[in-house]
Chains A and B, each alone.
Chain A
Amino acid sequence: GAVVSQHPSRVICKSGTSVKIECRSLDFQATTMFWYRQFPKQSLMLMATSNEGSKATYEQGVEKDKFLINHASLTLSTLTVTSAHPEDSSFYICSKAPGQGRTDTQYFGPGTRLTVL
């Protein structure tokens, strides 16, 4: 069964509004989660690493003030796209790092498709 869930699966919003995407680990606790973004016909690009109880680490070129990440619990990480614009329309996918002692497999959530009008 699924080990990572995301909500919502699809969201349409107006330009200038903020959108929050939730990513939950369903089996074991995840101290680290990863956020990716995928534009049409392109690869998955790592946006940031979310660490429980500390600040997220953002990849080069990703605006941390625009993409707010909160990892307040061991099973939940949220990504908030602030003041969204049409160019932020994309497929956002979260993934959790494997737990200690487990294989290095990285499981992905089902993704959230964001459309900004």
Chain B
Amino acid sequence: QQPVQSPQAVILREGEDAVINCSSSKALYSVHWYRQKHGEAPVFLMILLKGGEQKGHEKISASFNEKKQQSSLYLTASQLSYSGTYFCGTKSQAGTALIFGKGTTLSVSS
């Protein structure tokens, strides 16, 4: 049931782009993306509901392909502040608890 994230880790220089993938073996109602800094709680980035929509948040955007049960998070022109661990969380039904992937650690250096 746990979604699978890839890659496990990404190392970037400022200004470079990255893509983080999340896939599930179950049909999905929604996909949620969070970023967590060391020692802090996860911070909500965006939610994608079934319908194949793409959403954006500054230079971070995401897509959701419900047929393939996959979502991707796109980080463009990365900044130092993007460093952290990114988690995708999935729901198969509205109102149920999020089930999280194992996370992708992103390190951005100057």
Contacts and interface: CB of A to CB of B under 8 A. Distances in A.
Interface of A: 32, 34, 42-46, 49, 93, 95, 97-98, 103-111, 113
Interface stretch (B10-18, B64-72, B73-81, B93-101): B93-101
Contacts of A105: 32, 44, 47
A11 B97 CA distance: 26
Contacts of A113: 39
A108 to B, nearest CB: 5
Q: Name the prevailing secondary structure of the B interface residues.
A: loop
Nearest to A110: B41
Given A104-B30, A105-B32, A106-B32, A97 B95 contact: yes
Interface residues of B, number: 24
A43 B103 contact: yes
Contacts of B97: 34, 46, 49, 95, 97, 106
A103 B47 CA distance: 9
15 contacts: A32-B95, A34-B97, A43-B102, A46-B97, A46-B98, A49-B97, A95-B98, A97-B95, A104-B29, A104-B95, A105-B32, A105-B47, A106-B32, A108-B34, A110-B41
